[in-house]
Structure 1
Amino acid sequence: FHTERLRGASDRLRESLAALDYSRTPSAPFFCNVTGAQMTDFSDLPDYLARQMISPVRFTDELAAMEAAGVDAYLELGPGKVLTGLVKKTIKGRKAANIDTPAALQKAAALFE
């Protein structure tokens, strides 16, 4: 993922997603690690998702944009804690937790009370 070696798969993903309806805009702010900024235009979501496969991740830029927008808590969903660790290193004093099991969900719920 995140490499030009996936260009063919990226193109096929774009073609497959083009037939779906993307007329709904998310109700919560959406930050994009392709650009490192908040995403407000969702008119070409298939292209964005295809670019996600081949573009470098701009996670620290994304965190800076989220911080500037007032985000003060971060949850990483799924296995691994790489992103949670990056949040803790990059933005001091913010709550961050990984949720990969039911027990981790309980622990995160207590952290964010």
Structure 2
Amino acid sequence: MIKTFKMKLYPGMEAEYEKRHNELWPEMIDMIHEHGGKNYTISLDPESLILYGYIEIEDEEKWSRSADTPINRKWWDFMADIMETNADNSPVCKDLKVLFHLD
């Protein structure tokens, strides 16, 4: 199953966002895999600062449980200063509808 979504960076935070993801914590990688996520890509539109995410997941319900893990909550707190977030520091995230996919 493919999941796509968008988020938004604060101005001037492009390099910091990339740096933090290039140094992604091993526990975060493990949590993503344990909750059925793989082939995860995040791209940036530098004009709008919109981040576009793509991830392949095994099951929507299994993946949704990843949000409540302590490591995910820690990651949200770590990223809150560089991107738009909700009151609980989760990223403001909008799911996108997949209209076409070719393997």
TM-score range, shorter chain: under 0.3
Q: What TM-score do the two structures reach when normalised by structure 2?
A: 0.27
Larger radius of gyration: 1
Which structure dedicates a bigger proportion of its chain to strand? 2
Structure with the bigger percentage of helix: 1
Higher relative contact order (CA 8 A, sep 6+): 2
TM-score, normalization: structure 1? 0.25
